[in-house]
Chains A and B, each alone.
Chain A
Amino acid sequence: MTDMKKQQELMEMIERLLAGNVDVARDDSPHGTRDEELQKLMSLAEELSAGKAEPTPEFEERLEGRLAELMAESAVPDKAEADARGARTASSDSGKVRWAPSWLTMPRIAAVAAALVISLGLVGVTGALIRGGYQGKTSAETSAVSQNRATENGTLSKEQTADSPAPQGTVESAVGDASGFAAPGGTAASDGAGESTVAPLPSSQRIIQTADYRIEIVPGEFDDKYAQISAVAIKYGGYVVSGDTRMGNDGLKNGSISIRVANTSDNFTKAQAEIDGLGNVTSRKISGQDVTEEYVDLQSRLRNAEAQEAQYLALMQRAQTIEEILSVQSRLAQVQSEIEQIKGRMKYMEGRTDFATISIDLRETGEGTTADDGGTDWGFVDSIRYAGWLAVQTVNFVIVALGVLVPLVILGGGLALLIYRVIQKRRAGRNNGA
């Protein structure tokens, strides 16, 4: 047998062995007679795989406790991590600061002080300008904003999460889990959902599917379309994950809604077609990630493990002595824990693939009820008034800044002069001494 061929054969055997459907002692090589060397390598591989260490239950318990603690203290891992990073950078920066007395000469101190005063002045003036601009505009905007708030709080507070029932919300499946892991197994397709759930995808196909839409609609249609999208979710055995609605300054509504539809044969396509018809689709992004391979791997491993479990259970029935029972029991426990592991991973994948996600950004475009954002506020008189206001603000700022800076400059200058004198005196004394 050539090396390459032997190698390949071995690799296949190892894969099967790890999947649990090969007995090393039995000769089931494709050639009928297994090469002795191959046999040795196989038992070695089995030994390696069977000899792997298992964590003690006490350790697992401890670790679980620790993780639960961690999860409780930082619900948002990103932020905790970012904070930690921020703290690290800050501390390392402070470590870098070094005091270099030899640089401290009078002219340098003076130059730095001057630069400081100038930059402070600049920052101040800019700040005043910006603040002025903001305040100048606010008065015009405040009324509009408060008006909007009022409407939003009134009729428009339509923040939906998956926990709250969808607008049509009588169908059970419309209530989902915000984490996106609800109802694995593809059975969430509701009973009362009309033509939903067709035959499920062939079990060999596992695809994480998502679609992102941006749709423009005619003003006034928002609520209608929003409800239609929710209906699509329910019709195709899914639910509304989240949604929100906003009213712009121009009186036009916009918002986004995210739905999940049961990922059965052509549900995703049909749902897309319905959403396509809602309005002017300005962008559509569809993506799919095929995780079939990984899933099939898991399936076959599960089958094998379960077959093994059945065998051990049968053996257990026939076990006579306590020794035999104990021996079978420990192997059974090992297989069962493996089954749990595999099932956990499969469940995770199923949750990701049983539902396709469609996110829609919906906005009304066209003539609003009022003109563009603050566009009419800018008259000639306004500009002059604003300029005058800014001039006064600038003068005010300079006065305040001077009030703060003058005592400081006097104090610092006096101190510097004193030190300078002392140094000169000493130098003169030294020269005299020489």
Chain B
Amino acid sequence: MLPDKPAARSSSFGKMDFEEIYRGFVRPVYAFVAYRIDSRSDAEDVTATTFEKAWRASGRFDPAKGSVSTWIFTIARNCLNDHLRSQSRRPSTVELDEEQQDGVESDPVEQFQAQEMRRELRDALGSLSANEREVVALKFGGSLNNREIGRLLNITESNVGTILYRSLMKLKNQLEGGIEND
């Protein structure tokens, strides 16, 4: 009837809108994925799949149901879970390019220390439950706030806070334990 009802129009993005979404979210999505997958090429694959799927599904996006960030991260989570499932069926391989690029520190000593810290952190992240890891990845990788994470995972905002606190405590204990063991 109305060719231009707002719901109808906004539910199917034009190219321009999608480009904006891509520009705004490619880094957070990649960082989120990279928090869960160590191999860089795999993280790149999952990120690429996420945006391809998002483009294909953009016709079904309904802004009334949630924000763009929740939408895009829902797709990212699905792609990631698909990948992790397929990984669990494959024998695990250790990739050489495991270290993610940071490129912030220019001083070699500083760089080494930072790398060391990150390696320890990654090891410590392994001690978290899948749920906790996901919240940490969404928070610190995806740069989402607690409200957005809550909406995404279908839990309350304060619940997100509790999980984050617990995760940080676990990580801290793990790191201190590691130092003591050395």
Contacts and interface: CB of A to CB of B under 8 A. Distances in A.
A4 to B, nearest CB: 10
The dominant DSSP class at the A interface is helix
A241 B4 contact: yes
B103 A77 contact: no
A258 interface: yes
B22 interface: yes
Interface in B1-34: 1-7, 9-10, 12, 14-18, 20-24, 26-28, 30-31, 34
Contacts of B145: 15, 18, 297
A71 B31 contact: no
B73 interface: no
B99 to A, nearest CB: 10
Interface string B76-102: 000000000000000000000000111
Interface of B is mostly: helix
A50 interface: yes
Contact of B3 (A81, A208, A258): A258
Interface in A28-86: 37, 40-41, 44-45, 47-56, 59-60, 62-64, 66-67, 70-71, 74, 76-78, 80-81
B159 to A, nearest CB: 12
A133 interface: no
Contact of A78 (B10, B12, B51): B12
Question: Which of B2, B51, B147, B161 counts the most A-chain CB atoms under 10 A from its CB?
Answer: B2
Interface string B32-52: 001100001001100110011
B74 interface: no
B17 A348 contact: yes
Bin the interface of chain A by size. 35 or more
Interface of A: 7-8, 10-11, 14-15, 18, 37, 40-41, 44-45, 47-56, 59-60, 62-64, 66-67, 70-71, 74, 76-78, 80-81, 177-181, 208, 210, 212, 241-242, 244, 256, 258, 289, 291, 293-294, 297, 323, 326-327, 330-331, 334, 337, 340-341, 344-345, 347-348, 352, 357, 359, 361
Nearest to A60: B26
A71 B57 CA distance: 12
Nearest to B175: A44
B27 to A, nearest CB: 6
A44 B168 contact: yes
B68 A53 contact: no
B2 A55 contact: no
Given A51-B118, A323-B106, A77 B12 contact: yes
Nearest to B162: A7
Contacts of B60: 78, 81
Given A11-B164, A63-B48, A66-B48, 6 more contacts: A55-B47, A70-B55, A241-B4, A256-B4, A348-B24, A361-B2
Given A52-B34, A70-B52, A77-B55, A344 B64 contact: no
Contact of A357 (B6, B22, B171): B6
Nearest to A45: B168
Contact of A359 (B2, B16, B141, B162): B2
Contacts of B34: 52-53
Nearest to A43: B172
B130 interface: no
A197 B176 CA distance: 60
Nearest to A256: B2
A8 B158 CA distance: 9
A183 B41 CA distance: 39
A71 B26 contact: no
A11 B165 contact: yes
B175 A71 contact: no
B27 A337 contact: yes
B152 interface: no
A369 B34 CA distance: 69
Contact of B5 (A50, A60, A212): A212
